[in-house]
Amino acid sequence: MDIRIIVADDHPVILAGISVAIRQAGVGQVVGEATTPQGLLDLLASTPCDVLVTDYRMPGEGHRDGLGLIDDIRSGWPDLPVVVVTAVMNAALYREMIDAGATGLVDKTSDVNEIPQAILAAHRGDRYLSKNVDALAGRRRSLDIRVATLEDLSPRELQILKLFSEGMRVTEIARSTSRGMSTVSQQKTSAMRKLGLTSDAQIFDYVRSRRSD
């Protein structure tokens, strides 16, 4: 099968592992590798490919990663299937990745052999979620991943999450917003339920990822 594939990850060991899995599976040819967002964009501009496999978080000086990088790829190459490989375990961010234009999502704890499967699905134009991603997203109707986004929250819920992600405690938020602690807790819980978040760590992860776009 002659699928031309570009692979991007800022960790050399992971980058090599993905490329080896692709070659061993015989799903196509790795035509280029990148380790930074700018390096990836430069490679895409100079090297034709049929599917891109890229890390979600790939910091690079002078260029955004995460959702912002997916947006940039979509702007420059709107028809290119994109498989995102991520360490994120967060249903709300999965929804954001899909909405930004990711064709497939594979978590880094999955069997590396799921990446060739994701490539084949993406090349066909089908969405692919790795088993672990699908298990987490399944609580939010699996492939449809219809969790809310920040834009779907009420103004007060949005304010609570942003203040919380800045490191403020519930007592401090209640004091600064002139609301009762029980009200603040209820609004925080409601926002988390809408977004599909299950821990305080996921709040930090999600809100800060959105701010970095």
pLDDT one digit per residue (tens) for the chain, 213 residues = 589 999 999 999 999 999 999 999 999 999 999 999 999 999 999 999 999 999 998 876 666 778 889 999 999 999 999 999 998 888 778 888 888 889 999 998 888 889 999 999 999 999 999 988 888 766 544 444 445 677 778 888 888 888 888 888 889 999 889 888 888 888 888 888 878 777 888 788 777 776 554
Q: What pLDDT is recorded for position 141? A: 44
Among 3.40.50.2300, 3.40.720.10, 1.20.140.10, 1.10.10.10, name the CATH number for the domain at 150-195: 1.10.10.10
Report the distance separating Cα 188 and Cα 22, nearest Å. Answer: 43
Q: What pLDDT is recorded for position 92? A: 79
Report the distance separating Cα 166 and Cα 161, nearest Å. Answer: 9
129 and 85 in contact (C-beta within 8 Å)?
no
Report the distance separating Cα 55 and Cα 52, nearest Å. Answer: 10
4-144 carries CATH number 3.40.50.2300: yes
Query: Alpha-carbon dihedral of residues 71, 74, 76, 77, nearest 10 degrees?
Result: 160
Domain ranges of the chain: 4-144, 150-195
Q: Which residues does residue 83 pair with via DSSP β-bridges, in sequence order? A: 53, 104
Place of tokens 């990745």: 97
How many beta carbons lie within 10 A of that of residue 59, not counting itself?
A: 13
Q: What pLDDT is recorded for position 45? A: 97
Query: Alpha-carbon dihedral of residues 69, 71, 75, 76, nearest 10 degrees?
Result: 20
Q: What pLDDT is recorded for position 93? A: 83
Q: Is there a common fold for 4-144 and 150-195?
A: no
The answer, as to whether pTM is greater than 0.85, is: no
Structure tokens at 34: 């990148």
Query: Alpha-carbon dihedral of residues 18, 21, 22, 27, nearest 10 degrees?
Result: -150
